[in-house]
Amino acid sequence: MAKVIAVNAGSSSLKFQLFEMNDESVITSGVVERIGFEDAIFTIKYSGKKEVKTLPIKDHKVAVHLLLDTLIENKIVDSLEDIKGVGHRVVQGGAYYDKSVVINDQVVAHIDELKKLAPLHNPAHLTGYYAFKEAIPSAGAVAVFDTAFHQTLEPRCFIYPIPYKFYEEHNVRKYGAHGTSHYYVSQRAIDLLGNPEESKIIVAHLGAGGSLSAVKNGKSLNTSMGFTPLAGIMMGTRSGDLDPSVLDYLIEVVGMDMKELITMLNKESGLLGVSGVSSDFRDIQQAANEGNERAQLAIDIFYRRVIAYIGRYFVALGGVDAICFTAGIGENSAFARKGIIDLLTDAFGIVLDDDANENGSGERLITKPESKVKIYVIPTNEELVIARDTNRLLEL
């Protein structure tokens, strides 16, 4: 019985899901947060239980040992050797990887080299990789890249209209992100459409981070994130697309430097920046209900940024068979889905099924049969893709 663990090592966190690959069931899942702090938080779910501990966790190595010791102590696995594969989510694979790969020295060197493009993430992924390699030397390791699915973008979609030498000499181009999610959700949509030979799908991954993609016949045609995840739609704390002249203006007028500006655009903008309330859509919705005008404005901008990409991708695809909502907001907020869909209704001939939107749960169609475009809610499952790729590539 092959067990595979899907790992997402962030700069101060480590998320995991352990799968039994025979039936793809999740044996245990959880997260270590605030790694590097005295009050790190370890949360683990198994056998219908959830345990949360607060304790000092110095680094990722300690976090991995804590996790693996917990698996043994609670008899979640009999022996660590039962875990045959470790699948690592890697944010940036650059132009090197259009699919998942078994990690070897060259892959490590590439992930390390690409830390220029993902300074917070890629080093953390390698730290996670080394920690698991040391703890379970018998297990194989696979890298699953967030950028891989978008490697099918053609140059006319990924080249920025700036002097070409910056692409040639410095690899400045669109890479996209959330690829594993866009892949999973678009594949599910194709399945739900009855596996037609040709398909035109728009995926709206709306979480704390958010991106949209246009997927033609199963391949990513375009996506809203860019050189980094800062581009595209408005997000929880990220601005998304912005006229770069604003930066020069703020340098001149406010005296901010580039580092401060990039931090502002990544951490203090988006829903949080406009509303001044929170980056969490639930808080903003509540504030707007209570009459907070800036919260309402943040929601209005968010919707318009999303429909702008849907419109763009409708044209790029030459139509659309299905629009799919996924991630924290996309899966859970009937309010946000309705707000966005209402703005599309006239142009697209959408007939929303309010009952399915509001009262349904999990993967489902939320439009009526007479709707010209189908709209699905499809809970994403990046961990399952990571586990499947790991299982397949290691031939477990």
Tell me which residues touch ligand ADP (CB under 6 A). 207-209, 236, 280-282, 327-329, 332-333
- The residue among 312 and 338 lying less far from ligand ADP, judged by its C-beta, is 338
Q: Is 59 exposed, middle or buried (0-12, 13-18, 19+ CB in 10 A)?
A: exposed
Q: How far is the CB of 137 from ligand ADP (least distance, A)?
A: 31
Q: How far is the CB of 287 from ligand ADP (least distance, A)?
A: 13
- The residue among 280 and 300 lying less far from ligand ADP, judged by its C-beta, is 280
Q: How far apart are CA 364 and CA 67, in angstroms?
A: 34
Strand order in the sheet with 210-216: 219-223, 210-216, 200-206, 322-326, 374-377, 364-365
Query: 367: which DSSP letter?
Result: B
Q: How many helices (H) and strands (E) does the chain have?
A: 15, 14
Phi-psi region of 248 (alpha: psi -120 to 50; beta: other; left: phi over 0): alpha
Q: Minimal CA–CA distance to 17: which of 326, 381, 327? A: 381
Q: How far is the CB of 282 from ligand ADP (least distance, A)?
A: 5
Q: Minimal CA–CA distance to 148: which of 88, 188, 217, 200? A: 88
- The residue among 31 and 327 lying less far from ligand ADP, judged by its C-beta, is 327
CA-CA distances (angstroms) from residue 165 to 151, 172, 228, 244? Answer: 20, 9, 19, 19
- The residue among 260 and 268 lying less far from ligand ADP, judged by its C-beta, is 268
Please tell me which residue in 23, 112, 146, 342 is annotated as part of the active site. Answer: 146
| Torsional sign, CA 174, 272, 90, 126 | positive
Strands 25-33 and 83-90: unpaired
Instruction: Give me the residue whose beta carbon is nearest to ligand ADP.
Output: 328
Q: How far apart are CA 83 and CA 255, in angstroms?
A: 53
- The residue among 77 and 384 lying less far from ligand ADP, judged by its C-beta, is 384
Q: 10 Å Cβ neighbour count for 24?
A: 13
Q: What b/e readout covers 119-151, taking b as 16+ CB neighbours within 10 angstroms?
A: eebbebbbbbbebbbebbeebbbbbbbbbbbbb
Catalytic annotation on 191? no
- The residue among 21 and 277 lying less far from ligand ADP, judged by its C-beta, is 277
Torsion of CA 322, 327, 329, 330, to 10 degrees: 10
- For the chain, report the end-to-end CA distance as a whole number of angstroms: 9
Q: Is 362 exposed, middle or buried (0-12, 13-18, 19+ CB in 10 A)?
A: exposed
- The residue among 80 and 208 lying less far from ligand ADP, judged by its C-beta, is 208
Catalytic residues: 146
